[in-house]
Chain A
Amino acid sequence: MNEMISVQAQDFDMATEYQALRNDNNTDHNSSDGAVVTFVGLVRDYNQGNHVSGLTLEHYPGMTEKALEDIVVSAREKWSLGKVRIIHRIGQLNLSEQIVFVGVTSKHREAAFDAAQFIMDFLKNNAPFWKKENTDIGTRWVEAEDKDKIAQKKWQR
């Protein structure tokens, strides 16, 4: 198991994270993984009808890490995965800044693609983070969206 979960205020570097997924001290395992899938989520300029200039991410310390670990355990039950890396930022974030990183390795691409999608779908619904946006009409808490619930449900077949 190579669980690497970080909840942090500081930014992350995609190239560094990709390298860490590619090569590690576990060389035996690494040469058997033929696929690396990564996802990065950014602060978008428009949401739920208004222009957004930035946001603040609140979280539930302790439970956040536990919820993310549980999601990775569920993903590993469904697919044979190599490394899994999750980074989620907290605090004040400006437009276009990176919010979340998910990286998954596996022998073949299907498992890595599916597991990355699964992890994001569950993170959206189960990990205790809350966004408060700065918009052109003032600050507001982001409302949870039904489409995220639907996205999660498709894995329960």
Chain B
Amino acid sequence: MIKVLFFAQLRESLGCNELAIDLASDQRFNSVTTLEQLREALAKTDENWQLSLANGKLLMAVNQTIVDGSQAVKDGDEVAFFPPVTGG
């Protein structure tokens, strides 16, 4: 299983803050090996997910470190998608 988290305006537009996905057994995700492929597979959920995840400014993290789409995703990982940060 992987855990997928969404934050801020992305969380609101998706109406979802967390997903648990079994990469191996879920047909929609069983060919996913990278973060970009995970994003593409999630975008196929429906038009809203397609639109929300198409935002080129979105940041992605694996195991709480910001990485790019080529990062491998494997069982046990915590993945997160979120907009540019605005703290401070």
> Interface residues, chain A, CB within 8 Å of chain B?
41, 57-60, 62-63, 66-67, 88, 99-100, 120, 123-132, 141-144
Chain A interface SS verdict (over half): mixed
Further pairs besides A124-B88, A126-B85: 16, Cβ < 8 Å: A58-B8, A63-B61, A63-B65, A66-B65, A67-B64, A99-B88, A100-B88, A123-B88, A128-B87, A130-B7, A130-B82, A130-B83, A130-B85, A132-B8, A144-B84, A144-B86
Instruction: Verify A60–B80 contact, CB threshold 8 A.
Output: yes
CB contacts (< 8 Å) of A66 on chain B: these are 64-65
Instruction: Tell yes or no: B2 within 8 A of A by CB.
Output: no
> Interface residues, chain B, CB within 8 Å of chain A?
5, 7-9, 57, 61, 64-66, 80, 82-88
Cα distance A123–B84 in the bound complex, in angstroms: 12
> Which single member of B61, B64, B65, B87 contacts A129 (CB below 8 Å)?
B87
Cα distance A144–B87 in the bound complex, in angstroms: 9
CB contacts (< 8 Å) of A63 on chain B: these are 61, 64-65, 80
Instruction: Verify B88–A141 contact, CB threshold 8 A.
Output: no
Instruction: Verify B7–A58 contact, CB threshold 8 A.
Output: yes
Instruction: Verify B88–A144 contact, CB threshold 8 A.
Output: no
A100-B87 contact given A58-B7, A63-B80, CB 8 Å threshold:
yes
Instruction: Verify B9–A127 contact, CB threshold 8 A.
Output: no
Instruction: Verify A128–B88 contact, CB threshold 8 A.
Output: no
Cα distance A118–B88 in the bound complex, in angstroms: 13
CB contacts (< 8 Å) of B65 on chain A: these are 63, 66
Instruction: Verify A60–B86 contact, CB threshold 8 A.
Output: no
Instruction: Verify B85–A144 contact, CB threshold 8 A.
Output: yes
Cα distance A62–B83 in the bound complex, in angstroms: 17
CB B81 to nearest CB in A, in angstroms, measures 11
Instruction: Verify A129–B85 contact, CB threshold 8 A.
Output: yes
Instruction: Verify A142–B86 contact, CB threshold 8 A.
Output: yes
